[in-house]
Chains A and B, each alone.
Chain A
Amino acid sequence: MRYLLSSISLLIMVSCVSYPKKNNFVKSEINTTQVYNPYFSNVTKDYVYKANLEFYKKKFSGIVIIKKISDQEHRLVFTTEMGNKIFDFSFYKNTFKVNHILEDMNKKIILNTLQRDFTSLLKEYNYSRANFLKQNVKIQETKVLDKTHFYFYDSTTLTKIVRVDNGKEKVVYYFSNSKNSIAQQILIEHKNIKLKIHLKGI
């Protein structure tokens, strides 16, 4: 019995080990307070991506269009290749507005997932709660919609955002082929459900 109890408590302790500890992040003394995502920061630019979605065994594709409307506002529209709108959202600060969504997709669970995924993708400025280092990668911890996120910077380039829950990775955003603050390739990968969103700049 005692053995069982101690192994349970050990299990709990292991699962409670923080994400930075588990990944051997070293606390950094650099005092940066701002977390910055440069990828959708230019109001004069139309960000257009070919999108491929994998949800379990199903595949969908279309076009994702993102526009920074004003200082803290973004618009995100998903259409088919032929131009039909699937959904159209506005993000202002931490609020989210559905301008349009196909009836079949108008479900709370879908909307919540999309709101979280895209708020994390689009959020330009945030406050850093802690700074870490791992080899040459600078890591900043912050909160988006009350969930813990880690931003990874390879020198000054944002390469990855990780949403963490109970010390575990829930969603990972990979940015690659970045040039002039535009990421040509973005992958949003969910770890707890089989959902992947690939975005390729066009």
Chain B
Amino acid sequence: MNKIVYFIFFIALGTVATAQTKMSHQEAEVLKSKVKNTADKTQSISSNFTQYKHLDFLSNDIESTGKLYFKAPNTVKWEYVKPFAYSVLFKGETLYINNEGDKSNVDIGSNKLFKELNTLIAASIKGDMFNTDYFAITYFKKDKNSEVHFAPKDPKLSDFIKVFHITFNSNGDVLELKMVEPSNDYTQIIFSNREINKVIPDAVFAQ
């Protein structure tokens, strides 16, 4: 009998520990303006990241690490360092790819999809995706942090990503980005050593 009580207790505890409660409209508005305010003031971001690719059938998530650089308005460099060297750089009208030293580039000027992808990546790094034309948005409280779910409305995007989960700290900075696929497999990106508005050497964005 005792065992059952303990069991129920632990299940209940587990639920409480990971519980996320929905935000009130007012709380959501406060978070939104905080994030937008931070995003508007952000001229640059440099950060480390750890990426976990979760596929349900695997024994372990696939882990990779790297560095992220952002310069307003839309320059983004996403650089994997381990376990392979690979980077993509969105700069102006071009997407530069460096695959283990093998360089190539794609003209995105005429490619609407790539342009949208660039905008989306830049927005998601800052967390500023509060556009209800494009996303169905739900707000949650999670301990001291907030988690916002952005479900794309455009089927072209929702075919790939069912929902984006962005976790913000109390200052409105992005801690974590999770992209959930329609199959429920996901990519989780956890940021660390995030530095805002620190000068990034031009060499970082040179290809």
Whether, in the assembled complex, B57 has its beta carbon less than 8 Å from a beta carbon of chain A, the answer is: yes
Contact of B58 among A46, A52, A81 (CB under 8 A): A46
B187–A82 touching, CB < 8 Å? yes
Main secondary structure of the interface of A (DSSP, over half): strand
A82 touching B78, Cβ below 8 Å: yes
Q: Are A44's CB and B62's CB within 8 A?
A: no
Per-residue contact bits, chain A 26-40, to B (CB 8 Å; 1 contact, 0 not): 000000000000000
Question: Does the CB pair B104–A59 fall under 8 Å?
Answer: yes
The answer for the CA separation of A77 and B54 in the assembled complex, in Å, is 12
In the bound complex, residues from chain A placing their C-beta under 8 Å from that of B59 are: 44-46, 67
Q: How many A-B residue pairs lie within 8 Å, measured between CB atoms?
A: 52
Q: Which residues of B contact A63 (CB under 8 A)?
A: 53, 62
Instruction: Assess whether A84 is in contact with B83, with CB atoms less than 8 Å apart.
Output: no
A69 adjacent to chain B (CB < 8 Å): yes
Stretch binding the partner chain, chosen from B22-30, B167-175, B177-185, B190-198: B177-185
Binary interface profile of B, 48-78, with partner A (CB < 8 Å = 1, else 0)?
Answer: 0001010101111010100000000000001
CB nearest to A77 among chain B residues: B55
User: Digit string of A106-132 for contact with B (CB within 8 Å is 1, else 0)?
Assistant: 000000000000000000000000000
Most buried by B among A59, A61, A67: A61
Q: How far is the CA of A112 from the CA of B86 in the complex (A)?
A: 30
Question: Which residue of chain B is the closest to A46 with respect to CB atoms?
Answer: B58
Residues of A in contact with B, size category: 20 to 34
- Give the distance to chain B from A52, nearest Cβ to Cβ, in Å: 7
Residues of chain B lying within 8 A (CB to CB) of residue A67: 57-59
Cross-chain contact A83 with B53 (CB below 8 angstroms):
yes
Q: Are A202 and B187 in contact (CB under 8 A)?
A: no
In the bound assembly, the distance between CA atoms of A79 and B53 in angstroms comes to: 10
Q: Which residues of B contact A59 (CB under 8 A)?
A: 99, 102, 104
Interface size class of B (residues with CB under 8 A): 20 to 34
Q: Determine which of A75, A81, A88 lies in contact with B84 in the assembled complex, contact meaning CB atoms within 8 Å.
A: A81
Nearest CB of B to A94, in Å: 20
Known contacts A46-B59, A50-B83, A83-B187; 18 additional CB pairs below 8 A are A44-B59, A46-B58, A46-B62, A52-B99, A52-B102, A59-B102, A63-B53, A63-B62, A65-B55, A65-B62, A67-B59, A81-B84, A82-B51, A82-B187, A83-B51, A83-B179, A99-B183, A100-B183
A-B contact pairs, 28 of them (CB 8 A): A45-B59, A46-B58, A46-B59, A46-B60, A46-B62, A48-B62, A50-B83, A50-B84, A50-B100, A52-B102, A59-B102, A59-B104, A67-B57, A67-B58, A69-B57, A75-B57, A79-B53, A81-B64, A81-B80, A83-B53, A83-B179, A84-B160, A84-B187, A85-B160, A85-B185, A88-B183, A100-B183, A103-B159
